[in-house]
């Protein structure tokens, strides 16, 4: 897009925060060298959505690919020259895009999968999307009720779909209870996800810890530093 970019990343051991720091820093250095500029290239912090796979993954890809259409820039997503839709459809080489994790949900044969994928994308034109996609908040969680419950509700989230959301000032928050809940849900001691641990499980626990803290309206960064071993 003209003022922002969408990246869909399957995280492994590294956290999204660390990945984005490297991507943004590397690109900023490249941009400044090429155009003889200095300072920041991107404004503000990145927004992240923790997404469950299967149909939620496909829905997120559809949202990303339909952004130029919704903005009135093109009629079809493959008409936008900077969209990965072109790689998904085989119009251009995939390059750094790995389309297989999404396409395999649409069929075992790649040509058939691409045709079905294109139909799925086009069918989304004009549809409304979950508010998590367009929310101005920095982070969110997208998935089935069970997935969201395990990631947030069991760790102290008090606002669920269909229930009244409490204002931050009305919402009690206990950092110690949050940390203890994350320990129980992920079967990890706090030193594993409050410290510099790099395992995939510790990274996921750390991200859910931060996401939940933000949604509960806490001063999480200060508390997070306080609980570092």
List the Cα angle 66/72/75 in 5-degree steps: 65
Structural domain boundaries, residue 184: 143-226
95 lies in the same domain as 130:
yes
Q: Which residue from 40, 20, 62 is spatially nearest to 207, judged by alpha carbons?
A: 20
pLDDT tens, position by position, 177-217:
778 777 777 777 888 877 766 676 677 777 777 767 666 55
187 lies in the same domain as 121:
no
pLDDT tens, position by position, 19-46:
888 888 999 999 999 999 998 888 877 7
166 lies in the same domain as 185:
yes
Q: Which residue from 65, 50, 52 is spatially nearest to 1, judged by alpha carbons?
A: 65
d(CA 148, CA 154): 9
Q: Is the pTM of this model over 0.85?
A: no
SS3 of residue 205 by DSSP: helix
> Which pLDDT does position 28 carry in this prediction?
93
d(CA 103, CA 77): 16
105 lies in the same domain as 161:
no
pLDDT tens, position by position, 133-178:
665 455 555 555 555 555 555 444 433 443 444 444 444 556 777 7
Residue 33 lies in a domain: no
CB 68 within 8 A of CB 77: yes
- Name the domain count of the chain: 2
List the Cα angle 40/41/45 in 5-degree steps: 80
> Which pLDDT does position 34 carry in this prediction?
95
Average pLDDT over residues 113-127: 91
Q: Name the domain boundary from 136, 171, 190.
A: 136
Residue 36 lies in a domain: no
CB 104 within 8 A of CB 53: no
69 lies in the same domain as 98:
yes
Per-residue DSSP letter, 165: P
């Amino acid at each position: 897009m003209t003022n922002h970019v969408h990246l869909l990343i399957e995280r492994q051991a590294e956290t999204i925060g660390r990945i984005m720091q490297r991507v943004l820093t590397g690109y900023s250095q490249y941009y400044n060298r090429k155009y003889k500029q200095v300072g920041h290239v991107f404004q503000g912090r990145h927004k992240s959505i923790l997404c469950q796979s299967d149909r939620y993954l496909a829905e997120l890809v559809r949202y990303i690919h339909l952004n130029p259409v919704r903005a009135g820039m093109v009629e079809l997503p493959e008409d936008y020259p900077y969209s990965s839709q072109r790689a998904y459809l085989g119009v251009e080489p995939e390059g750094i895009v790995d389309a297989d994790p999404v396409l395999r949900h649409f069929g075992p044969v790649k040509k058939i999968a691409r045709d079905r994928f294109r139909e799925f994308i086009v069918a989304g034109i004009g549809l409304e999307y979950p508010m998590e996609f367009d929310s101005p908040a920095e982070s969110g969680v997208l998935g089935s009720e069970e997935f969201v419950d395990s990631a947030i509700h069991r760790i102290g989230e008090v606002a669920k779909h269909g229930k009244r959301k409490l204002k931050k000032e009305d919402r009690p928050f206990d950092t110690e209870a949050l940390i203890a809940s994350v320990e129980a849900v992920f079967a990890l001691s706090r030193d594993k996800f409050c410290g510099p641990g790099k395992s995939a499980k510790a990274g996921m626990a750390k991200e859910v810890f931060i996401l939940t803290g933000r949604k509960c309206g806490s001063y999480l960064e200060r508390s997070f530093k306080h609980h570092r071993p």
